[in-house]
Amino acid sequence: MVEFNRQERILKLKIAYYGPAVGGKTTNLKVLYDRARSARRGEFVSVNSQQDRTILCDLLPLKSGGFKGLDLRFQLAAVPGQAMYGPARRVVLRGSDGVVFVANSATDRWHENVQSLRELQGNLLAEQLDPNTIPMVLQYNKRDLPDVLEIEALDRALNGRQAPVFPAVATRGEGVLETFAEIVRVTMEELCRHHPVMELPEGQSAADWTEQAILSMFGTTRLEGLEPEEEIVPLDLPESALVDETASERVMIRVPTPEELARPGATPAEARSPEALAETYAQASTELGFAVTDMREERDRARSRLAEVRVALQLAEQKEEGEIEDRAQRIVSILMRSASAANASLLLTTADPPQILVVPPLVADPLARTRWGAIHLHELRGLAETRLEEAGAMPELRETFAESEPAFEAVALVPLRSVERLLALALLYYRPHMVLPTPDTLDHVGFLARVLAGPLEATAAREAAASAQRMRALSRASAAAMASMLTRLPAGAGRRQTIVLEDLLGPLRAPGVTVTIQSGAPAVVGDASLLRFAVATLIHRCEVVALERSVAPVIGVYAALDDGLVRLHVWAGAGSAVVGAPAAVALTADSDAELSAVYAIMALHDGEFVAPESQGDDAHFILQLAPAQA
């Protein structure tokens, strides 16, 4: 019975291993457990007798990875084969999505095989499953025994359905993975056929997906002769860090009482029979087994999240050095790993123009390289919370991803913000069939991003200051050259035109620069391009001052008639974006060499230049000119 948890994006499929006693069911699961990558397998729970015979069930959870963005899990359950455990067999079979029938090839087990298959068919019917259509694979095990039945003979007796068949020697791993891969394939085909939302897009098949899934779980598609591979993920966190006093969530296992389980029409005595009781216990045990795995998984997830937070904090505490690009790369790698994305890039908005850093092996950002994507990225600059966008729900995104190489299915957008502004937007990409992050994971990644915004901000500020220094040095040199040229001009050499203030200052309007002209302010006389150059120099100077303080430059230009003179104010900082006159600040002349060109231009116009004495104050410059005679 397909079990779907929408919140956690988990899809569970149950595969039952059924067959006569000592046929090799437990051995199949044990081999799969031994050879599965440790990250892909859960706890193997086996309730066995002293003689290693299954008395209740064997349970093995396996993670296949993603299917259509969902985290797909297979729950393998083997029944106990001995005759007396009949009720347990039915319970273990309950809700299966696929069945593997493990037959014993030994000649003297002929009858037991036939009997077990017949019982399986009866039990399927009793559980409302159709024995003729439920996904099924047959395994003829123990082919290594000296006296075995011919495959054809076994087929005639057991395979009326003409299900796929695999000969096997389970103890040596032969045929075990082939059998499992086939039951996965036929179960997936059935799933896609019967659930429209699970349908695969054109060009994709359940067989291709299964091959990839088997490779991801086992690293191979055949097991014989291979040594089990062990991966150990070291985690050296103190136990104390893992105890969360507030976590009181309980795992509830609800098992029907014998009365509840009783078939309609059964008498109370029948309902309380030993068989009915055994059934209850069996059900409790299967559910407990899988629940334990879920709990362990939750614990492991909490541990790895904690480890990620620790890495993020370490990065935040480290003395920053190196380029912003290096730091950004490390930040985006942490986010990518924690969101389990395939690829990533980072839109750095501290640079002007914004810069895209692509994490290899990606060569180009799939969004930034298309027109719609670039516009979309621009709009996303206001994003406050981490967000997942899926191609299935956004036609434009689907088109954009269709053009990209490799193909993607979804993108998680993770803003890195300081208090004032967006520093960067991490773009975490998911390929088709990858498990997409749950809301819970997105929250966690958003939290990491808040921790990581600190180091990014520090590096960005340091770089901005350095670049302001460079800008300043450059403008000093050019302004000095300009000033020396201007001062050598004879007085009155400049052009003398009547210039309307709007014509003079209008062209200086730009993002971040607000130009306001008092209504009725008179025209001035002089050389429009020289005067405009003087104002532009002051605007530029204000930008440098703002960058030195690591704030986004917001510049105001205000022109008004004041005391019989036309005053042009240029200032940066608080209030400068507000349309209107700035609050008056005490100003005195400043002998800054950088501004000598402005002094020279004002001298040519018989005007005056007032600059603030110290750069510690908000930068505020004033140019004074005589109004043109009406």
Contacting positions for Mg ion (CB under 5 A): 25-26, 54
What are the b/e assignments for 64-103, b being 16+ CB within 10 Å?
bbbbbbbbbbbbbbbbbbbeebebbbbbbbbbbbbbbbbb
Strand-pair category, 565-572 with 608-610: unpaired
Half-sphere exposure at residue 486, Cβ-oriented, CA atoms within 13 angstroms: 23
DSSP strands (E only) in 397-532: 410-417, 422-430, 497-499, 513-517, 524-526
Residue 141 in contact with ligand GTP, rule: CB under 6 A: yes
In this chain, which of 144, 150, 403, 606 binds ligand GTP, going by CB under 6 A? 144
Provide the sign of the torsion angle of the four alpha carbons 264, 266, 268, 274, taken in this order: negative
Cα–Cα distance for residue pair 14/96, rounded to 1 Å: 5
In this chain, which of 11, 12, 23, 557 binds ligand GTP, going by CB under 6 A? 23
Q: How far is the CB of 79 from ligand GTP (least distance, A)?
A: 7
Q: Which stretch binds ligand GTP (CB under 6 A): 73-81, 351-359, 379-387, 588-596?
A: 73-81
Cα–Cα distance for residue pair 160/149, rounded to 1 Å: 17
Q: Could you tell which of Mg ion, ligand GTP, none binds residue 452, using a CB distance below 5 to 8 A set by kind?
A: none
Q: Cα–Cα distances in Å, from 516 out to 5, 223, 544, 555, 570?
A: 59, 78, 21, 11, 11
In 3D space, the residue among 43, 40, 29 whose CA is nearest the CA of residue 66 turns out to be 40
Site for ligand GTP in 531-560 (CB under 6 A): none
Q: How far is the CB of 160 from ligand GTP (least distance, A)?
A: 22
What values do phi and psi take at 75, rounded to 5?
-110, 110
Nearer to ligand GTP, 147 or 249 (CB): 147
Q: How far is CA 184 from the centre of its chain?
A: 27
Q: Which stretch binds ligand GTP (CB under 6 A): 136-144, 192-200, 245-253, 509-517?
A: 136-144
Residue 626 in contact with ligand GTP, rule: CB under 6 A: no
Nearer to Mg ion, 81 or 446 (CB): 81
Nearer to ligand GTP, 60 or 559 (CB): 60
Nearer to Mg ion, 89 or 185 (CB): 89
Site for ligand GTP in 80-109 (CB under 6 A): 80-82
Q: Could you tell which of Mg ion, ligand GTP, none binds residue 179, using a CB distance below 5 to 8 A set by kind?
A: none
Residue 476 in contact with ligand GTP, rule: CB under 6 A: no
Residue 61 in contact with ligand GTP, rule: CB under 6 A: no
E strand or H helix at 64:
strand 54-67
Query: Nearest to ligand GTP by Cβ — which residue?
Result: 81
Q: How far is the CB of 292 from ligand GTP (least distance, A)?
A: 21
Cα–Cα distance for residue pair 543/549, rounded to 1 Å: 10
Residue 54 in contact with ligand GTP, rule: CB under 6 A: yes
Binding pattern to ligand GTP, positions 161-200, x when CB under 6 A?
A: --------xxx-----------------------------
Cα–Cα distance for residue pair 131/18, rounded to 1 Å: 13
Q: How far is the CB of 253 from ligand GTP (least distance, A)?
A: 24
Interface residues with ligand GTP (CB under 6 A)? 19, 21-27, 52-54, 78, 80-82, 141-142, 144-145, 169-171
